[in-house]
Structure 1
Amino acid sequence: MESGKVIFSDKSVRRQVAVTVIILLALILLGQLIVARMAEDYKKAMIEHDYAVAGYLSRCGVDNSRIVTAFTHDKTGADTEIGSSLLSSSGYMESMQNSLLPVVESFHQKFALTVLSFSVLFSLAFLAVLYLGEQYRGKQLETAAGQLRLFMDGDTAVRLSDCGEGSLSRLFAATNTMVTSLTAHIDKEKQNRQFLKDTISDISHQLKTPLAALQMYNEIIRDEKTGNEVVESFTDKSRRELERMESLIQNLLKLARLDAGTIELEKTVSSLHGFLEKFIGSFATRAKQEGKSISLQCNDSVMLCFDETWLGEAVGNIIKNALDHTGSGDSIEISCEEAMAVTEIIIRDNGAGIHPEDIYHIFKRFYRSRFSKDKQGVGIGLALSKAIVEKHEGTITVRSELGQGAEFHLIFPKLTNL
């Protein structure tokens, strides 16, 4: 009973049911009219047949009074049996074909066509009601889907029309409640991200002044050339730690800006070969000092729409990671490939590789592997690379076997090049 109430609370369903009931009542009425018409036609055909039989008998000399009596008086079962025996011998019986009885055949054809016509009309009307009802609900759902797409595209003010009755309106009302809740969560998340960005930015800026002072003091001590090996050793260590601290602060600021969505990429369509060749040059000195090689394989025709500064940051972090995890004599190969739907940058090395335990965590912020020999990193470079690639609407994946090196794939859809 409750389900029936729910169904009939929908105005469109009630309207559809009402139209269907009207069509059924009209069909019943038409059926009765057809039956009445059939009876009248049958009576007319029967009387005309009796007229013809009476005329034939009269023409054959049968007394007219007996003919009238035969058609107007009641007949007994014996009369029926005698007539059946008489006519059956000539093939006139119930099993004979209708085509041998022109009156019956005409009656059958006429009303068979009439009933078929009304049946077709009823079926078409019923299907039309169903079709129009589904069209109406389909338009409602399509409109709702369009509104939801607008919401997904960022228009949080969008709401579905839920002022009607029925199951769809209740669904739209529930969806509006969910959308309102999501909007509140989105606003809260934006506030949290902005707070995080502002906090990190404030802390970073506060650290820059003492950091710059420490770097200046460290340079002054180094320039003094005291001749004390211990002092000079600690001065070099201080310089490296200060550089690490400055790099960490800069990366934290970049991540905060990416998280807050305040970065607007300045994309241009450029050749990947030229970009990578110029960028790899900045690592040539370090690679040479460490006895490692960096090679590039990329066709000049491979183009990509990207922000050179930010994508350079992403690629640079991966190359730094490769340099940190390779030894003297190892190599780093950078290549780019172009397929039907994507453009791909591949960075592979033949170094130590990534432990299976770490492969699913290396893009997490501040993740440090317990197997890593690199004690200087803080686990933020690859997380920053991932955020930058995703900002370019791309994805980043890694393949590695322990002792066999690592292979990073930066995959960008060509649709972003348009």
Structure 2
Amino acid sequence: MFYSSSSKGIYISWAVLWIFTFICFCCVTFQITEKWSLRLLLLGFAGLFQFIALLAVVALRRKIVYFSESMSVCLDNMIKGSEEVHFNLETETLMAKLQIKLKRLYDIMKNNSNKNMSEKIAIQRLVSDISHQVKTPIANIKMYNTILRERSMSWKKQQEFLKSCDIQINKLDFLLQSMVKMSRLETGVLQICPKLYPIYDTLAEALGEVLVNAEKKNIHISVQCDPLLVVNHDKKWTSEALYNILDNAVKYTQEDGSIEIKVDKWEFYTKVDIKDTGKGICEKNQGAIFKRFYREPEVHDEEGIGIGLYLSREIITLQKGYIQVKSKPGHGSIFSVFIPNH
């Protein structure tokens, strides 16, 4: 019959107690009896049971030593952060029960350590990305400032350099604002508050910010959306997410191109399709475009820092939605934004 280690310990304790009780009984009986044969018999029994008790104590001590050494080895390996810490989880001994608890603690500590390492790497990458994004505008501003300070030039030329400085300053300001939004979204400081609101109005707000640039490139924009279609979403931040996608569509669509926007209500989601006739994105890079500071190699000449689509995905994800992209180089792109209806 199988007994756990704790049950065995109880039985051993009772056995030792019974043995000592019997020895005491033998000693008392030895004192009150006058028969030497009975006395010798009692002495024999007392000696035998003392020997058994001694063996039990030795066995118990060995178990305690084994237990403490095993626990010490496990704890030492956990402290060192060893990749492989062996736990005996197949038996129901006291040692196994404690090792199960230790294994859970070890797994939690290991997961936390891996998470901290991932966060550290992410922070290092973020600092590197920010440094890279800030470096060029600051270098340009310093260069323009040096030229204005050390060279004599006409008023018209000065205005050209000042305008160039303004462009670089605006880039830095845009980067700073984007970083603030990104930080607030990631840390949970910024709360998304979905409410029932016409998606047409949200879309109109996003479109209003890209119309000027679209008109400069003679890009035709068409919209198919029911003005009365109500969707549960955060108007301000959903407009921001749609604007970032529309801004990219305008930015990477050639002159005389077109952008089509179509909104359909499904059973669980409302789908917003934004289709353009731009450069398109090769399939292997379609997953990377939602990363922070990612930009396609062939579009580095265009304005931008590579945060827009990242912010769009974060905003929509926080509303329990998602974004899909279909694209082919030279044939434009379709960004599909799925927003939960309820």
In the aligned structure 2, how far is the partner of 1:375 from the partner of 1:279? 21
What is aligned with 1:399?
326
Is the 8 Å Cα contact of residues 219 and 258 (structure 2) preserved in structure 1? yes
What is aligned with 1:362?
289
In the aligned structure 2, how far is the partner of 1:370 from the partner of 1:190? 26
In structure 2, do the counterparts of structure 1 residues 356 and 187 end up closer, same or farther at CA, with 3 Å as the change threshold?
Answer: closer
In the aligned structure 2, how far is the partner of 1:329 from the partner of 1:314? 25
Q: 1:229 aligns with which of 136, 156, 159?
A: 156
TM score, norm. by length of structure 1: 0.49
Question: Does the alignment pair 1:314 with 2:237?
Answer: no
Of 245-254 and 257-266, more deviation after overlay is shown by 257-266
Secondary structure of 1:412's counterpart equals strand
In the aligned structure 2, how far is the partner of 1:345 from the partner of 1:172? 50
Of 323-332 and 259-268, more deviation after overlay is shown by 259-268
Tell me which structure has the larger Cα radius of gyration.
1
Aligned residues: 240
What is aligned with 2:336?
409
In structure 2, do the counterparts of structure 1 residues 182 and 302 end up closer, same or farther at CA, with 3 Å as the change threshold?
Answer: farther
What is aligned with 1:269?
196
Question: Superposition RMSD on alpha carbons, in Å?
Answer: 4.0
Is the 8 Å Cα contact of residues 277 and 296 (structure 1) preserved in structure 2? no
Is the 8 Å Cα contact of residues 280 and 328 (structure 2) preserved in structure 1? yes
CA displacement, residues 36-63 of structure 1 (integer Å, 9 cap, x when unaligned): xxxxxxxxxxxxxxxxxxxxxxxxxxxx
> Deviation of residue 169 (structure 1)?
6.5
**Mapping of 1:158-177 within 5 angstroms?**
173=101, 176-177=104-105
What is aligned with 2:208?
281
In the aligned structure 1, how far is the partner of 2:173 from the partner of 2:112? 37
In structure 2, do the counterparts of structure 1 residues 386 and 173 end up closer, same or farther at CA, with 3 Å as the change threshold?
Answer: same
Q: 1:181 aligns with which of 109, 113, 119?
A: 109
> Deviation of residue 289 (structure 1)?
2.0
In the aligned structure 2, how far is the partner of 1:245 from the partner of 1:287? 23
What is aligned with 1:305?
232
TM score, norm. by length of structure 2: 0.59
Secondary structure of 1:249's counterpart equals helix
**Mapping of 1:118-267 within 5 angstroms?**
173=101, 176-177=104-105, 180-181=108-109, 184=112, 228-267=155-194
* Stretches of structure 1 lacking an aligned partner (at least 5 in a row): 12-164
In the aligned structure 2, how far is the partner of 1:385 from the partner of 1:254? 11
In structure 2, do the counterparts of structure 1 residues 177 and 299 end up closer, same or farther at CA, with 3 Å as the change threshold?
Answer: same
In the aligned structure 2, how far is the partner of 1:325 from the partner of 1:331? 11
**Mapping of 1:12-161 within 5 angstroms?**
none
In the aligned structure 1, how far is the partner of 2:103 from the partner of 2:263? 45
What is aligned with 2:304?
377
In the aligned structure 2, how far is the partner of 1:175 from the partner of 1:297? 57
Is the 8 Å Cα contact of residues 393 and 412 (structure 1) preserved in structure 2? yes
Is the 8 Å Cα contact of residues 319 and 340 (structure 2) preserved in structure 1? no
> Deviation of residue 328 (structure 1)?
1.4
Q: 2:268 aligns with which of 323, 329, 341?
A: 341
Give the letter aligned to residue 163 of structure 2: D
In structure 2, do the counterparts of structure 1 residues 182 and 393 end up closer, same or farther at CA, with 3 Å as the change threshold?
Answer: farther
In the aligned structure 2, how far is the partner of 1:10 from the partner of 1:318? 64
* Stretches of structure 2 lacking an aligned partner (at least 5 in a row): 7-91
In the aligned structure 1, how far is the partner of 2:336 from the partner of 2:104? 40
> Deviation of residue 374 (structure 1)?
3.6
Is the 8 Å Cα contact of residues 325 and 374 (structure 1) preserved in structure 2? no
In the aligned structure 1, how far is the partner of 2:228 from the partner of 2:187? 35
In the aligned structure 2, how far is the partner of 1:373 from the partner of 1:391? 29
Give the letter aligned to residue 288 of structure 1: E
Is the 8 Å Cα contact of residues 269 and 305 (structure 1) preserved in structure 2? yes
Return structure 1 stretches of 4+ with deviation > 3 angstroms.
8-11, 165-176, 182-193, 226-229
Give the letter aligned to residue 408 of structure 1: F
CA displacement, residues 122-170 of structure 1 (integer Å, 9 cap, x when unaligned): xxxxxxxxxxxxxxxxxxxxxxxxxxxxxxxxxxxxxxxxxxx689978
Is the 8 Å Cα contact of residues 202 and 236 (structure 2) preserved in structure 1? no
Give the letter aligned to residue 178 of structure 2: N
Give the letter aligned to residue 268 of structure 2: A
In the aligned structure 2, how far is the partner of 1:295 from the partner of 1:179? 54
Give the letter aligned to residue 190 of structure 2: I
> Deviation of residue 192 (structure 1)?
6.7
> Deviation of residue 173 (structure 1)?
3.4
The percent of aligned pairs where both chains have the same amino acid is: 26
Is the 8 Å Cα contact of residues 190 and 260 (structure 1) preserved in structure 2? no
> Deviation of residue 382 (structure 1)?
1.1
> Deviation of residue 282 (structure 1)?
2.6
Secondary structure of 2:206's counterpart equals helix
Secondary structure of 2:204's counterpart equals helix
In the aligned structure 1, how far is the partner of 2:162 from the partner of 2:317? 40
In the aligned structure 1, how far is the partner of 2:294 from the partner of 2:118? 25
Is the 8 Å Cα contact of residues 324 and 374 (structure 1) preserved in structure 2? no
